[in-house]
Structure 1
Amino acid sequence: MPTLRSALLAGLTLFAAVSPASAQGKLDARYEVTLAGIPVGKGSWVVDIADDAYSASASGGTSGLLKAFASGSGTGGSQGRIVNGALIPQVYSATVHSKKSETIRMSLASGNIKESSIDPEPPVDPDRIPVTDAHRRGVSDPMTGSLLRVPGTADPVGPDACRAGGAIFDGRMRYELKLDYKRMEHVRAEKGYSGPVVVCAVYFTPVAGYIPDRAAIKYLAAQRNIEAWFAPIAGTRILVPFRMMIPTPLGMGVLEATQFVTQATPPRVAKTQ
């Protein structure tokens, strides 16, 4: 199942944009992953947008039929500052537990990678395209890149949200993402959000840090039918994935929110003496 797992995990990070954030809000979401309609995984995602800082954390694992063949779990998180309305990541980490455990850590400053490590350190593969210093500049981490920010004053849930793209570095691989508008839909979570979402096509282009002959990479790069359905975090101009749809050789892979509880938080009042 390596191709399937790689495709579904990659779906969690196929978003990036750079535009001003606005106001403050929180999200507490729960997701289910299905393959050809069969449950294969569950996860959670918590996002907190304050006036001058933000944090995001996620966790998940295999379940159902897939767990019988390839059990695994993972956690990840990102923290950063909000400067002139923009999300500026500072710290990112991700840990995956399967037959072996692996932890990726990164620190960033002004969109550039200051330090990054993989523990345990993976063996050198001569077939892997090297990541240069240039590839580590002007990037976002995968978690921050999942927060789609929509500029302007109009309703953020609309076609303009899909006019985005950006560079992501996940600690191992540098890749580019591009979004294109497809359509509008209406969703209803079992708990929480009910309303419009904007559906974007997602295109993935690997740049460095990958092995060109890997089947999963070739498959994702060739896909033209990946969709991301974005819903808003209340009180902000930030959208996050409500649903992801990724074709796989074994059927359609779908990541969908079963809980999407979001609320605006009032701005802090400055203290006076």
Structure 2
Amino acid sequence: MRTPLLTIPGLLLVLAAGAGPASGGQVSADYAAWFIGIPIGRGTLTAHVDGTSYRTEVSGRVTGIAALFVGGSGTAEANGRLAGTAPVPAQFRVEVRSGGKVETTRMAMADGNVRSVERNPDKPPHPRATPVLPEHLRGVLDPLSAGVFIAGGTGPVTGPAACERRTRIYNGVYRFDLIYSFVATRRVEIAGYKGDAAICSVRFEPIAGFRADRSDIQSARRRSAELTLVPVAGSRALIPARVSLSTGYGHGLLEATRLDLDPARPAARPPARRASAD
């Protein structure tokens, strides 16, 4: 089974991407993914923001029975600067290992524009894919930088300011938008966090690099996911705690199993090792 964006390890990397604190410090989280109630993967996020710059690292791997069919693992990292509440990426790198093969993508960016893309192996686009044009590579974010959530204004951190946005994303192959809308502020209890969370709906809009005749792409356009964002202590940043979506194949869920939301507290454990396939 393929996702519209990446393989399953890559999907974990995208969905687990989140924000760091708005002042100096580090936050981290572990995630587990289920599909139709069956465990399919795990991921780890570490993010650091010092007020003017950010760095995010994510790893994910397929686990359980899913590993018998689409085993693999992936790592990704991104860094850049902050302009108010908006990330301005500088570099993005992702590596996905599956079936004994390794695929890597590196992007260099400046002022919201893609400067260079290096893919290995460098596969040509599908002949029926919508071309990615130069204008598609301006004013965009990489997938991890797109996961930096900082609520603007002075209202509640878990209010509408946490969600309302349209994010233009390029991952080295596909150009797409994610459109976030505020649903509600809701009390939640997830992975040790108990308190208010912002609930957002998320819609996927393909722009370029996709085949228009792919039924999964058209299906993804018609569906929306629900994203639960919880606040980082002492800041206006938020981090994903749960992502829920329905597909033509069934229901998928990504949920935090551990949340470290206090950047002032020393890390409870050493950084996670590089992910490997189960």
TM-score (norm 1): 0.87
Cα offset for 1:35?
1.0
The alignment yields a C-alpha RMSD, in angstroms, of 2.4
Q: For 1:70-109, what aligned pairs fall within 5 Å after superposition? A: 70-84=70-84, 86-99=86-99, 100-109=101-110
The aligned counterpart of 1:269 is none
1:85-126 per-residue CA deviation (whole Å, 9 max, x = no partner) reads 542210000011112221010011110011112111013421
CA distance in 2, matches of 1:163, 1:125: 34
Alpha-carbon shift at residue 25 of structure 1 (Å): 3.9
Bigger CA drift: 44-53 or 181-190? 181-190
Deviation of the 1:229 alpha carbon: 0.7
Give yes or no for contact 1:43–1:59 (8 Å, CA) kept in 2: yes
Unaligned segments of structure 1, at least 5 residues: 267-273
Contact 2:13–2:74, Cα closer than 8 Å, also in 1: no
Query: Aligned residue for 2:250?
Result: 251
Q: Is the 8 A contact 2:41 2:62 kept in 1?
A: yes
Match in the other structure for 2:271: none
Report if the CA contact (8 A) 1:24-1:51 is conserved.
yes
Cα deviation code 1:183-211 (max 9, x no counterpart): 23333333x42222111110110101111
Contact 1:230 1:240 in 2 (8 A): yes
Identity among equivalent pairs (%): 33
| Structure 1 residue aligned with 2:234 | 235
- Is the 2:74–2:94 contact (alpha carbons within 8 Å) kept by the matching residues of 1? yes
Deviations 1:32-90 (A, max 9, x none): 00012211100000111112221001001111111112101111010112345542210
Aligned to 2:261: 262
User: What 5-or-longer segments of structure 2 have no aligned partner?
Assistant: 266-278
User: CA offset at residue 15 of structure 1?
Assistant: 10
Amino acid at match of 2:109: L
The yes-or-no answer on 1:188 pairing with 2:189 is yes
Q: 1:76 to 1:137 in 2, by over 3 A?
A: same
Q: Is the 8 A contact 2:188 2:195 kept in 1?
A: yes
Relative distance call for 1:5 and 1:105 in structure 2 (3 A) is closer
CA distance in 2 between partners of 1:86 and 1:24 (Å): 17
Is 1:200 matched with 2:173? Answer: no
Is contact 2:149-2:237 (8 Å) kept? Answer: yes
3-state SS of the aligned residue for 2:262?
strand
Partner of 1:60: 60
Q: Is residue 146 from structure 1 mapped to residue 165 from structure 2 by the alignment?
A: no
Query: SS where residue 155 of structure 1 aligns?
Result: coil
Separation of aligned partners in 2, 1:58 and 1:179:
22
Whether the aligned pair in 1 keeps the contact of 2:85 and 2:151 (CA below 8 Å) is no
Task: Report the AA paired with residue 229 of structure 1.
Answer: T
Q: Which residue of 1 aligns with 2:168?
A: 167
Aligned to 2:159: 158
Name the CA distance, whole Å, in 1 between partners of 2:206 and 2:104. 21
Q: What is the aligned length?
A: 260
Residue identity in the other structure for 1:205: E
- Residue 183 of structure 2 is aligned to residue 178 of structure 1: no
Preserved CA contact (<8 Å) 1:25 1:233: no
> In the TM superposition, what whole-angstrom CA distance separates every residue of 1:152-211 from its partner, at most 9, and x where no partner exists?
122211123221112011111111111112223333333x42222111110110101111
Tell me which residue corresponds to 2:115.
114
> Does structure 1 conserve the Cα–Cα contact (< 8 Å) formed by 2:28 and 2:259?
yes
